[in-house]
Chain A
Amino acid sequence: MTYLNLFLAFFRSGMLGYGGGPSSIPLVHKEVVGKYKWMNDEEFGDVLALGNTLPGPIATKMAGYIGYRVAGFLGLIIALLATMLPTIILMILLLTSLRDYKDQPWVQGMTKGVIPVVAVMLAVLTWQFVDASKKSLGLKISLIHIFAGVLLLQFLGVHPGIVIGLLLAYALFGPVKEKKENVVRLREGEKTG
């Protein structure tokens, strides 16, 4: 029963979430906290914060981790599959059948019609990331990062992995202003963790 509920919870939040994983978070919250009460608000917030500390897609991290907490390793697998398998199969079927009509002029027209829409979606995402970094780093530092990024990535052709790797290394090993409250929280974390 738990396995079925896990499947249903993550199948629904996967199938109803448009705009990638981050937009399905409220739906996951509704299922996990509201409907099945596997966690309370605070625990869910903790899991989300943890997920955001790590790289990679957020929806699958949430599904996998919550599935694991509720029903062990099999729960992890079920929640993960429910989140992503239906749409992956749909995607493969649709795209492979479209490929058969690739040379038809109307299919080529469809491809051309959708490019500006995808460009707009990416532009909106760009703005969301600019806004997020403005909030965490401040406008001035964000702009410096952005100008340096454009120079390195677009004009010097440096691989983004190198740029991001260096930034991560700097975050981990570079100088940091330790605030008092953070130190206290870290100690608390040591006891519980």
Chain B
Amino acid sequence: MTFWHIFLAFFIPGILGYGGGPASIPLIENEVVDRYEWLSVTEFTEVLALGNALPGPIATKMAGYIGFQEGGWLGALVGVFATVAPSLLLMVAFLGLVYKFKDSPRVKNMSAYVKPTIAVLLGIMAYQFFFESFTGVGWMHTLFLAGASFLLMEKVKVSPVFVIIGSLGYGAVFLA
């Protein structure tokens, strides 16, 4: 039963997330935090933070880790399979069919129509995380960390790895 749930929890974000792995992050949160309650919001943040600090695709890292936590190595395999297989199979097995409809306006509309909703889901998550930080450590630390990380990542173009390591260090010293 657990493995079936792991499969569903990652299959649904996998087939609904248009716009690559990052688009499926809020959909994964919806399943693993809200529906199955495998992780608290804070634990989900930890997984997401570490996932962002490591290289490679984000959706499979999250599926692998959360699958592992719930069902060991087989759980990790099921989570990753559910994330990757459906759309990859479509691409490999039905390439001719997919190719035929690639320029169809209806198919183009599919990803176009989903994007604003993904934006809303990501925005709601960002809000939740700001709110959580605000109530946890107060507005001064939150504003400082958010402002500094935004400037470093988006303006100075520092790699997110260093920004995340920096914030971990800041937390270990000032927020302990």
A residues near B (Cβ < 8 Å) are 14-22, 24, 46, 49-61, 64-65, 68, 76, 80, 83-84, 86-88, 90-92, 94-96, 98, 105-126, 129-130, 132-133, 136-137, 142, 145-146, 149-150, 153-154, 159-161, 163-165, 167-168, 170-172, 176-179, 182, 185-186, 189-190, 192-193
Contacts and interface: CB of A to CB of B under 8 A. Distances in A.
B153 A52 contact: no
Given A20-B20, A189-B101, A54 B56 contact: no
B98 A53 contact: yes
Give the contact-size bracket for chain B: 35 or more
Contacts of B74: none
A109 B80 contact: no
Given A21-B21, A22-B22, A129-B118, A111 B45 contact: yes
B7 to A, nearest CB: 14
Given A64-B84, A185-B103, A21 B57 contact: yes
B57 A129 contact: no
Contacts of A87: 54-57, 61
Contact of B95 (A21, A50, A109): A50
Contact of A54 (B27, B51, B90): B90
A65 B91 contact: yes
Contact of B65 (A88, A182, A186): A88
A145 B109 CA distance: 13
A111 B115 contact: no
A43 to B, nearest CB: 12
Most A CB contacts (10 A, CB to CB) among B109, B125, B136 go to B109
A51 B176 CA distance: 44
Interface in B46-90: 46-52, 54-61, 64-65, 68, 76, 80, 83-84, 86-88, 90
Contacts of B95: 50, 65
Contacts of A137: 112-113, 115-116
Given A123-B123, A185-B103, A115 B60 contact: no
A63 to B, nearest CB: 9
Interface string B119-131: 1111111100110
B19 A84 contact: no
Given A64-B84, A109-B176, A145-B117, A83 B130 contact: no
B39 to A, nearest CB: 11
